Amino acid sequence: MPLLAIVYFSISGTTDQLAHAVARGAAGLAEITLCRIVGDDIVSGRFQNERLMETIDRAGAVAFGSPTYMGGAAAQFKAFADASSDRWSQQHWAEKIAGGFTTGACAGGDQLHTLTYFSILAAQHGMLWCGLDIPGGEDPAGRNRLGSQLGLATHLIDGALPQSDLVTAEYLGGRLAKLAGRNG
């Protein structure tokens, strides 16, 4: 069974909810490790958690997650991405399946830029990007509500994540796990 590493930063708990939904969707299809980036991982401005990096080394698939702050991934996630350059130079993560999820304050809160950042990070590592194959606005279950094909983009409505976005996160987790199983 492939390993799905869900690497994410969350401050308010919203991105954490999405990460857990991705994990639920992959349950039974992959071994799952939630890799939450926390403050102690960053020392003097640099990400320093070798155990998390080694988890990704072993994974067949990786889901990147971060809230969208000021039009991009949170600084804490960016510190992780910067620290991945040692793996990049050796292409340790090449051929792994990658996907992403983000949340923002508004429906049009520049979440696409965060997903684009994740996909470029994956491309630099030689990873294979997995987006959503659910046409926005066309799904009877309301999945992919904001219509982002690159990955899951969401925002809070009345202070909560819509159930359809959590179901979309589950779908993304299942899709990543299935593709990792084919790739391994």
Q: What is the C-alpha to C-alpha distance for residues 59 and 38, in angstroms, rounded to an integer? A: 20
What is the DSSP code string of 137-148? TT-TT--STT--
Residue 166 confidence (pLDDT) = 96
Residue 138 confidence (pLDDT) = 87
Question: Which stretches of the chain score pLDDT less than 50?
Answer: none
Sequence-separated (6 or more) residues with CB below 8 Å from residue 25 = 169, 170, 171, 172, 173, 174, 175, 177
Domain count along the chain: 1
Mean pLDDT (the chain) is 94
Task: Return the CATH number at 22.
Answer: 3.40.50.360
pLDDT digits (tens, 9 = 90+) for 103-143: 988 887 789 999 999 999 999 999 999 999 998 888 998 99
Exposed/middle/buried for residue 53 (C-beta within 10 Å: 0-12, 13-18, 19+) = buried
Q: What range defines the domain where residue 37 resides?
A: 3-183
